[in-house]
Amino acid sequence: MTQDSQTGERTAAEQGASPHRLIASNRVEGTAVYNRGGEKLGRIEYFMVDKTTGQADYAVMSFGGLFGLGGKHYPLPWDMLDYDPDQGGYRIDLDKAKLEQGPSFAPGEEPDFDRRYDQRVYDYYGVVYTW
């Protein structure tokens, strides 16, 4: 998880002390995602979970389009996301230009998420692929 200079230690301390370490899967869905400048990038539509281990690997964020129409889905390595209790959303260190060129798919046209695809997404964002 990355550090954030805006909220700093307080956020980290809150998270450590909070009884609300957990969040319901259906509340993650629909949660807003902001970049480090506080700009809203999109929202999490759903996330991809390893069936066996229960580990979330991707957050799938909708981005682009107008008024929710014509947007695409962007798989983001889960580790790129920081939960920010102050904003009630996730933050990510990513600018729009980088995101726009990133792996994406049309809603309803989900890729296979096989290992080759995983590798491509993780490489694109420079996140270490550990499995």
Residues that bind a second copy (CB under 8 A): 1, 15, 19-26, 28-29, 46-52, 54-58, 60, 78-79, 82-83, 110, 112-115
CB of 97 to a second copy, least distance (A): 26
Least distance in angstroms from the C-beta of 17 to a second copy: 11
In 3D space, the residue among 62, 35, 36, 34 whose CA is nearest the CA of residue 47 turns out to be: 62
Q: Which residues of 25-39 are buried (b: 16+ CB within 10 A; e: fewer)?
A: eeebeebbbbbeeee
Could you give the CA distance from residue 52 to residue 71 in angstroms, rounded to a whole number?
A: 31
CA angle 33, 107, 22 (to 5 degrees): 40
Q: Give the residue with the Cβ less far from a second copy, 60 or 94.
A: 60
Q: How far is the CB of 26 from a second copy (least distance, A)?
A: 4
